[in-house]
A and B are shown apart, each in its own frame.
Chain A
Amino acid sequence: MRWLAEVHVALRPGIADPEGETIASGLRSLGYDTVSEVRAGKLLRIAFEIDEPAAAEAAVDEMCRRLLANPVMETATWELRADEQQDADPALP
């Protein structure tokens, strides 16, 4: 069964994020005066095949821990769903 995972990787709270600060300053200069903070991060969309739902959860968790985020400075959060079009070509959005 095919799964789609969306993994969000971000700097841990409290770690200076100059990229986010620069984007916030860009938004404010466009007139969005109330923007107080932007935190930049990465979005990784991952399509993979595995049979059991529990195994799919475990696989994403392991991917995050082993490679996708460095716990020294990053956090990873993810959403996992079954690909609705199981028989079609891989449906990465």
Chain B
Amino acid sequence: MTIAAAPSIVVVVFPGTWSERDFADLAGALGWEARLVWHTEAELGEADAVVLPGGFAHGDHLRTGALARFSPIMAAVGEFAAAGGPVLGSCNGFQVLTEAGLLPGALLRNDHLEFRCDWQWLRCERGYGPWLGGLEAGDRIRLPISHGEGRYFADEATLDELERSGRVVLRYSDAAGTVTEAANPNGSLRGIAGIVNQRGNVLGLMPHPERAADLELGGDDGLRLFRSLERWLQELPAAAERRL
């Protein structure tokens, strides 16, 4: 029997990022290593997974994520993702991933024009990949949302392809897990809250798993993504492959 080393995650920090400490605290509470890496760095260093946190990278000027995609660290994030490394983009991180072309579509201004900060039920459509492997289709999780530009948009052909290939992994739902227009907090097409790339290793979602990591703060469903990742890392056949 071998004891696996604690997972180590890199949390990318752009000027204007605001959720990096929550991710680092969450990792610390799990006994993991977390390293914050400034956006001007060219290398991620050794990492089991990379997180692009929420916030307002580069002030969200021009468009959310539009300037962040040109930050030097994004080339390394792209390489890590291309090698199959687990990448999570939450909120602004999701917006950056779409601008960088690592995920399809775009996040537009909420249909009601309000910034929405609330708890939100989500239905897992497919327990798939490093981040959601510990969930099953139909599972409900409750996570905070906090965004003004979360309306998922892609053209019809792209949406159909995402559905067909099982890459729509999270949808906004009510407490019963039913996807309804009323439960959709921002006008996202087809109620989409989270998608993965073709390989399943890159997850983008508007909600904040890192803000649902402590029952005393309202809920800990966000931990399920990190328990999934832990299991996924342990199941990788060799330590050499773990360190991607």
Contact = CB atoms under 8 A, between A and B. Distances in A.
A90 interface: no
A72 B153 contact: yes
B207 to A, nearest CB: 21
Nearest to A42: B62
Size bin of chain B's contact surface: 20 to 34
A73 B108 CA distance: 9
Interface string B231-244: 00000000000000
A70 B63 contact: yes
Interface string B53-70: 000000000110011001
A68 B106 CA distance: 15
B74 to A, nearest CB: 14
Interface string A39-61: 00010000000000000000000
Given A67-B62, A67-B66, A70-B63, A18 B106 contact: no
A18 B154 contact: no
Contacts of B187: 16, 18
Given A72-B98, A73-B108, A15 B153 contact: yes
